[in-house]
Chain A
Amino acid sequence: MTMDTPPPAGEPDDSTSAGTIGDSGYTLEDLSDYSDRGREPAIPAIDDNAECQSVLASIERVGALSRDLVAKEATDHPALDESWFGSLFAAISSEAKAGRDIPLSSPDPRTRLSITEGAVRELVRAAGDGVDGALVGRCQLHGDLDGAGSGIRVELSISVLLGAPVHEVAALVRQRVYSELLAHTELAVEAVDVTVADVHVIPNPQGGTE
């Protein structure tokens, strides 16, 4: 089974695999290497940077699965388009950019509370990836994020584990994303649109596939 439809890399952005994460000066490759080293020796400029930490979390969440898939497909299906994961991580890098501040209400006029656009996108991605059998390819937020209480639409593309109940997985992703946005933002979520763009397999220890 191949994953032959790479997820789009997201909206045009300067935070792609060819550039640095946000304006941190570190590339996706740098962070991947840092993760591979077990984040040792510690680099405070990465550890203290929210955008880098967001990308590292995604790398570590998806990394094991991607290595398994690439190894399996390299053996059984040489035609695997490995760029799928490259595009996935490019999308993650792009989405990690802090972006706009989304207001949270504050009773004190001298106090501004907000959650970053990047934090919301990471929240959505983690909620989707947390559903068994789902892997988020791309996440986009549409609508006015700048005004508290404004309506937004969330658009997700996901890959579903081969054999998993597609409708149920998509519905669960939609439900979890909605719940997380309700808990952590004050956005009025008008819709969570989930598109199943791919299927994937996971090799089992006996050499077959699940």
Chain B
Amino acid sequence: MSDDELAILIETAVRGVDGVATVYSALPPLARSARQLTAGTATLPLVALARKGGLLTVTVNVGVSAPQAPATASAAAIAVRTVLDAAGIPDAEVAIRVSRVHD
């Protein structure tokens, strides 16, 4: 499985979490633009994956609409862990960042 495929699986899982209104790009805009140039018309994943020293770090930026952002962020992290466990990457680090709280 490629990193992009894994990122899309994670994004899909997070979008399915109650209280997650949307997923925002976790890549800095310039980096995303650079990647888009090489990707052509292909849709880039919004979830950022980074590997350093064999350790995978997953970063997801979410907009939430549930009554409590901390609980939604926690649920999103569990959804990410489920995907990572299924992919055989249980030791990855996960960062969930609430970027907006929707009305």
Which residue numbers of A lie inside 8 Å of B, CB to CB?
22-25, 45, 48-51, 53-54, 57, 98, 101, 104-106, 108, 110-116, 118-119, 122-123, 126, 130, 180, 183-186
- Tell me the minimal C-beta distance from A121 to chain B in angstroms: 11
Interface of A is mostly: mixed
Give the residues from 1 to 54 in chain B that come closer than 8 angstroms, CB to CB, to chain A: 24-25, 28-30, 32-33, 46
A184 to B68, CA, bound (A): 5
Q: Which residues of B contact A110 (CB under 8 A)?
A: 91-94
Closest 4 CB pairs of A and B: A50-B99, A184-B69, A115-B98, A50-B24
Most buried by A among B28, B69, B77, B96: B69
Which residue numbers of B lie inside 8 Å of A, CB to CB?
24-25, 28-30, 32-33, 46, 61, 63-64, 67-70, 73-74, 77, 81, 91-101, 103
Q: Which residues of B contact A105 (CB under 8 A)?
A: 70
A50 to B70, CA, bound (A): 18
Q: Which residues of B contact A186 (CB under 8 A)?
A: 70
B24 touches A104 (CB 8 A): no
B73 touches A113 (CB 8 A): yes
A-B contact pairs, 11 of them (CB 8 A): A25-B29, A51-B99, A104-B98, A110-B94, A114-B95, A115-B98, A119-B69, A126-B101, A183-B69, A184-B101, A186-B70
A101 touches B68 (CB 8 A): no
Interface of B is mostly: mixed
- Tell me the minimal C-beta distance from B45 to chain A in angstroms: 10
A130 to B101, CA, bound (A): 14
Q: Which residues of B contact A54 (CB under 8 A)?
A: 100
Q: Which residues of B contact A115 (CB under 8 A)?
A: 69-70, 73, 97-98, 101
B100 touches A53 (CB 8 A): yes
- Tell me the minimal C-beta distance from A21 to chain B in angstroms: 10
Take A45-B32, A48-B46, A50-B61 as given contacts and tell me if A119 and B98 are in contact as well, using a CB distance cutoff of 8 Å.
yes
